[in-house]
Amino acid sequence: MTGADAIIAALEDAEVDVVFGLCGDTSLPFYDALSRAHSIRHVLTRDERSASYMADAYARLSGRVGVCEGPSGGGATYIVPGVAEANGSAAPVVCLTSDVGVADQGKGTLTEMDQQALFRSITKQAFAPRTPADLSTMVREAFRESITGSLGACHVSLPYDLQAAPLEVARASATDRYPQDRMAPDPDAVAKAARVLAAARHSLIVAGAGVLRSEAWDELTALAEGLGAAVATSIGGKGSIAETHPLSLGVIGSNGGLPWRHDLARTADVVFYVGGATGSVTTEKWTLPEAGTATFLQLDTDPERLGRVHELAAAVQADAKLGLAALTEEVARLGADGGDRFGRERIAQGKARHREETAELFASSSMPILPERLLAELFAALPDDSIILADPGTPCPYLAAYWELPKPGRWFVSPRAFGALGYALPAVVGAWYARPDAGRIVGVMGDGSFGISAGELETLVRLEVPVTLIVCNNAGYGWIKAGQKSRGDEYYSVDFRRSDHAAIASAYGMRARQVSDPEELGAAMREALTHRGPYLLDVLTQPLEEARAPVSKWIA
């Protein structure tokens, strides 16, 4: 056995079934060992960044660690964006990058860099093996670290000479499922928080991604019903409760929030954050609601998040599933009646009023096609149990605001930790490996994002993955253009020529169609969502700076 074989053994012991990555000369021993690992599928990508995005999407949707790999030098630098996104979004990812040999370090060897320093600030932990035995030990530790406590990404460098060195290691059972070692809440903290919640008149729960990572949607719904509390979510927490539930407000915040939701959120006398970062977007830069207008509670596994923004009446450090279950039990013991404290009727009226006010947009025959009309045709044709991945530009606010999830769970992904464009096109591959039984995997992006990741069209065709790509073709970096407009600035360096993305996809061998007439969109959408292989639908859409996007602040 070699060091590279030991790495594969560690992956096999963790029951890893797929690795996303790109080859390089310092990765040769690793690839040789990986070729003999018949239980692990390697997905060759055309860009290391794409590999990290695939691993991120896989982790969010599967309940398992996503694994990506790349070579030294440029490969290590290219793979950074998805690793940073995963760590910032509490998605467990293990990133492996090969490196120059330990014996060659410090001599100006080609592609040499301090990989540990590069990854330290964007991961939970970055490992730098110095001996052959370190390889197996540190890969196993990276898996444990990524799924224990506050979830996140870890990195391990793989020096070339250590990969090739002879080594014998003991096999051990492990897992890539998360979360591991769920943190139970302190009973006194639960009792204190429960008393505040039970006494509230208009309580609001704001659910973040921690609810989804913990699979705590049933516990969240039970607590909301026990309190009669409304539930709003961050973008990352979308799916924490069925958005058809009478207590669901939907996504709130400057990106994807709606005015009627915010009006109701500001009436809350108690706000309970669960598994979220209380960040600038969800809180409209900490004005939703403002400090002093409500009492704040928070539940999170990360002690550094507790009370970071608001002074808390009670803080519960715990796994979301265990913490919410304990709170539900304690609230019931205190005699909370589960009545209509927040006002189900107020929520229903807000939803109905907004639908009436926007109905014309969703039925519009205007050209270019309005984003709302695009959504109407998408929702009408979307198979049950489908998953949508939305790039953080044009698609994110629309889908966050208007896709009303009929049941809770992992159905929606939009990378909001860093908001980097180019995510959705490669991420659909990771989503398909995570959930091949989904009704349909759909990636929605703007043309700016498409231009960044278009090379992965070849990957989709090669793998024959049955996914749908939808491009909002509006010939510009719309979010920045809208931001310039909101500031009263002239448009500067935000426009580019309109491309025929369907023709580009066709050149790669993919079925594709461009649509400019809204009356043709319904049939095109049905074809795109039912085709047996990958399909790209290029939709000429209204420029974002002219649209009525559900965005309250373009520039925070």
pLDDT tens string 322-378: 999 999 999 999 987 777 778 899 999 999 999 999 999 999 999 999 999 999 999
Task: Examine the domain organization and report whether 441 and 517 are in the same domain.
Answer: yes
**358 occurs within a structural domain:** no
- Domain of 118, CATH number, reads 3.40.50.970
Residue 82 has pLDDT above 80, yes or no: yes
**95 occurs within a structural domain:** yes
- DSSP assignment, residue 369? B
- Asked if 165 contacts 304 with a C-beta cutoff of 8 angstroms, the reply is no
State both tokens at 468.
Answer: 């749908």
Residue 336's pLDDT is what?
78
Residue 513 has pLDDT above 80, yes or no: yes
Question: What is the distance of C-alpha 120 from the center of its chain?
Answer: 21
Residue 118 has pLDDT above 70, yes or no: yes
Task: Examine the domain organization and report whether 137 and 199 are in the same domain.
Answer: no
Last residue of a domain, one of 294, 321, 346: 346
**302 occurs within a structural domain:** yes
The mean pLDDT of 221-235, rounded to a whole number, is: 96
Task: Examine the domain organization and report whether 292 and 374 are in the same domain.
Answer: no
Q: How far apart are CA 549 and CA 484, in angstroms?
A: 15
Residue 555 has pLDDT above 80, yes or no: no
Task: Examine the domain organization and report whether 407 and 277 are in the same domain.
Answer: no
pLDDT tens string 406-452: 999 999 999 999 989 999 999 999 999 999 999 999 999 999 999 99
Half-sphere exposure of 459 (CA within 13 A, CB side): 24
- Domain of 252, CATH number, reads 3.40.50.1220
- Asked if 552 contacts 257 with a C-beta cutoff of 8 angstroms, the reply is yes
Q: Which residue has the higher pLDDT, 179 or 467?
A: 467
To which H or E segment does residue 143 belong? helix 132-147
Q: How far apart are CA 168 and CA 293, in angstroms?
A: 62
Closest by CA to 265, choosing from 280, 278, 283, 242, is 283
Question: Following DSSP, what letter does each residue of 443-477 receive, concatenated?
Answer: EEEEHHHHHHHGGGHHHHHHHT--EEEEEEE-SB-
Task: Examine the domain organization and report whether 423 and 323 are in the same domain.
Answer: no
Last residue of a domain, one of 102, 129, 164: 164
Q: How far apart are CA 66 and CA 59, in angstroms?
A: 5
User: Where does the pLDDT of residue 21 fall: very low under 50, low under 70, confident under 90, or very high at 90 and above?
Assistant: very high
User: Where does the pLDDT of residue 556 fall: very low under 50, low under 70, confident under 90, or very high at 90 and above?
Assistant: low
- For the chain, percent of residues with pLDDT exceeding 90: 90
Query: In the structure, how many helices (H) and strands (E) does the chain have?
Result: 22, 18
Task: Examine the domain organization and report whether 267 and 398 are in the same domain.
Answer: no
Q: How far apart are CA 277 and CA 117, in angstroms?
A: 25
Burial zone of 345 (CB within 10 Å; 0-12 exposed, 13-18 middle, 19+ buried) = exposed
Last residue of a domain, one of 130, 164, 198: 164
Query: Residue 51 carries which side chain, given as an amino acid letter?
Result: A
The mean pLDDT of 219-224, rounded to a whole number, is: 97
Question: What is the distance of C-alpha 540 from the center of its chain?
Answer: 26
Task: Domain of residue 125: give its range.
Answer: 3-164
pLDDT tens string 146-205: 999 999 999 999 999 999 999 888 888 888 999 989 999 999 999 999 999 999 999 999
Any residues with CB less than 8 A from the CB of 472 and at least 6 apart, and which? Answer: 371, 374, 394, 395, 444, 445, 446, 447, 539, 541
**284 occurs within a structural domain:** yes
Task: Examine the domain organization and report whether 317 and 243 are in the same domain.
Answer: yes
**540 occurs within a structural domain:** yes
Any residues with CB less than 8 A from the CB of 67 and at least 6 apart, and which? Answer: 11, 16, 18, 19, 20, 55, 93, 94, 95, 96, 176
Task: Examine the domain organization and report whether 266 and 371 are in the same domain.
Answer: no
* Beta bridge pairs of residue 537: 470, 513
Packing angle between helix 48-62 and helix 80-88, nearest 10 degrees? 20
To which H or E segment does residue 318 belong? none
Residue 107 has pLDDT above 80, yes or no: yes
Q: How far apart are CA 357 and CA 361, in angstroms?
A: 9
The arrangement of strands across the sheet holding 312-317 comes to: 248-251, 230-233, 203-207, 270-274, 295-300, 312-317
Place of tokens 């979360």: 179
Residue 500's pLDDT is what?
97
Any residues with CB less than 8 A from the CB of 3 and at least 6 apart, and which? Answer: 29, 132, 135, 136, 162, 163, 164, 165, 167
Task: Examine the domain organization and report whether 370 and 301 are in the same domain.
Answer: no
Residue 259's pLDDT is what?
96
The arrangement of strands across the sheet holding 511-515 comes to: 412-413, 387-390, 441-446, 467-473, 535-540, 511-515
Give Cα separations from 53 to 44, 57, 83, 427, 445 (angstroms). Answer: 13, 6, 8, 5, 14
Task: Examine the domain organization and report whether 96 and 191 are in the same domain.
Answer: no
pLDDT tens string 26-62: 999 999 999 999 999 999 999 999 999 999 999 999 9
User: For residue 181, is it left (φ>0), alpha (ψ between -120 and 50) or beta?
Assistant: left
- DSSP assignment, residue 177? B
**278 occurs within a structural domain:** yes
State both tokens at 218.
Answer: 């049933």
Burial zone of 144 (CB within 10 Å; 0-12 exposed, 13-18 middle, 19+ buried) = middle
Q: Which residue has the higher pLDDT, 298 or 102?
A: 298
Q: How far apart are CA 7 and CA 24, in angstroms?
A: 17
Domain count, the chain: 3
Task: Examine the domain organization and report whether 157 and 220 are in the same domain.
Answer: no
Q: How far apart are CA 295 and CA 514, in angstroms?
A: 51
16, 162, 172, 431 alpha-carbon torsion, rounded to 10°: -10
Average pLDDT of the residues of the chain: 95
Closest by CA to 97, choosing from 12, 54, 62, 114, is 114
**552 occurs within a structural domain:** no
Task: Examine the domain organization and report whether 395 and 482 are in the same domain.
Answer: yes
Closest by CA to 162, choosing from 182, 194, 144, 138, is 138
**367 occurs within a structural domain:** yes
Q: How far apart are CA 506 and CA 486, in angstroms?
A: 37
Burial zone of 230 (CB within 10 Å; 0-12 exposed, 13-18 middle, 19+ buried) = buried
